[in-house]
Amino acid sequence: MFDYLEKQLPKLIMAPTVIVMLVCMYGFIGWTAVLSFTKSRMLPQWEYVGWAQYERLFANPRWHVALDNLLVFTLLFIIISLLLGLMLAILLDRNIRNDGALRTIYLYPMAVSFIVTGTAWKWILNPGLGIEKMVRDLGFTDFEFRWLVDPDMSIYTIVIAAVWQSSGFVMAMFLAGLRGVDDSLIKAAQMDGASTLRTYWHVILPVMRPVFFGAVVILSHIAIKSFDLVQSLTGGGPGYSSDLPATFMYTHAFSRAQMGLGAASAMVMLAGVMAIIVPYLYSELRAKKS
Partner 1 sequence: MSASTTSHRLYKALFITLLLGFALVYLGPLYVMLTTSFKGIEEIRNGNILALPDTLDTSAWSKAWTSACTGGDCYGLAPYFWNSIRIVLPAVFISTVIGALNGYVLSQWRFKGSNFIFGALLFGCFIPFQVILLPMAMLLAWLGLANTVSGLVLVHVIYGVAFTTLFFRNYYVGIPSELVRAARLDGAGFFATFRHVFLPLSTPIIVVSIIWQFTQIWNDFLFGVVYSGPGTQPITVALNNLVNTTMGGKEYNVDMAAAVIAALPTLVVYLVAGKYFVRGLTAGAVKG
**Residue closest to 261 by CA, chosen among 47, 43, 27, 39:** 39
> How far is Cα 51 from Cα 190, in angstroms, rounded to an integer?
61
Residue 72 interacts with partner 1 (CB under 8 A)? no
Minimum gap (Å) between residue 167 Cβ and partner 1: 9
Which of 19, 83, 129, 185 lies at the binding interface for partner 1 (CB under 8 A)? 129
What's the residue count for the chain? 290
Minimum gap (Å) between residue 49 Cβ and partner 1: 17
From the list 72-80, 143-151, 200-208, 273-281, the region that binds partner 1 by CB under 8 A is 273-281
Which DSSP category does 127 fall into? T
Which sign does the torsion angle of CA 201, 207, 211, 212 carry? positive
**Tell me, what amino acid is at 205?**
L
CA 83 distance to own-chain centroid: 16
Site for partner 1 in 161-190 (CB under 8 A): 164, 168-169, 172-173, 176
Residue 82 interacts with partner 1 (CB under 8 A)? no
**Residue closest to 85 by CA, chosen among 110, 113, 106, 112:** 106
**H helix or E strand, kind and range, residue 5:** helix 2-21
**Residue closest to 155 by CA, chosen among 249, 242, 267:** 242
Site for partner 1 in 204-243 (CB under 8 A): 211, 214, 218, 221, 224-225, 227-228, 231-232, 235
Q: Which is nearer to partner 1, 97 or 184 (CB)?
A: 97
Residue 13 interacts with partner 1 (CB under 8 A)? yes
Q: Which is nearer to partner 1, 72 or 237 (CB)?
A: 237
> How far is Cα 108 from Cα 85, in angstroms, rounded to an integer?
14
Residue 120 interacts with partner 1 (CB under 8 A)? yes
Which of 1, 4, 6, 191 lies at the binding interface for partner 1 (CB under 8 A)? 6
From the list 45-53, 68-76, 144-152, 280-288, the region that binds partner 1 by CB under 8 A is 280-288
| Helix 28-36 × helix 259-289 angle, to 10° | 140
From the list 52-60, 72-80, 81-89, 186-194, the region that binds partner 1 by CB under 8 A is 81-89
Which of 19, 83, 113, 202 lies at the binding interface for partner 1 (CB under 8 A)? 113
> How far is Cα 101 from Cα 188, in angstroms, rounded to an integer?
32
Which of 115, 185, 257, 275 lies at the binding interface for partner 1 (CB under 8 A)? 115
Contacts of 148 (CB under 8 A, 6+ apart): 122, 125, 126, 127, 154, 157, 233, 234
Q: Which is nearer to partner 1, 59 or 271 (CB)?
A: 271
Q: Is 38 helix (H, G, I), strand (E, B) or coil?
A: strand
From the list 58-66, 101-109, 181-189, 198-206, the region that binds partner 1 by CB under 8 A is 101-109
Which of 182, 254, 275, 279 lies at the binding interface for partner 1 (CB under 8 A)? 254
Which of 1, 17, 193, 206 lies at the binding interface for partner 1 (CB under 8 A)? 17
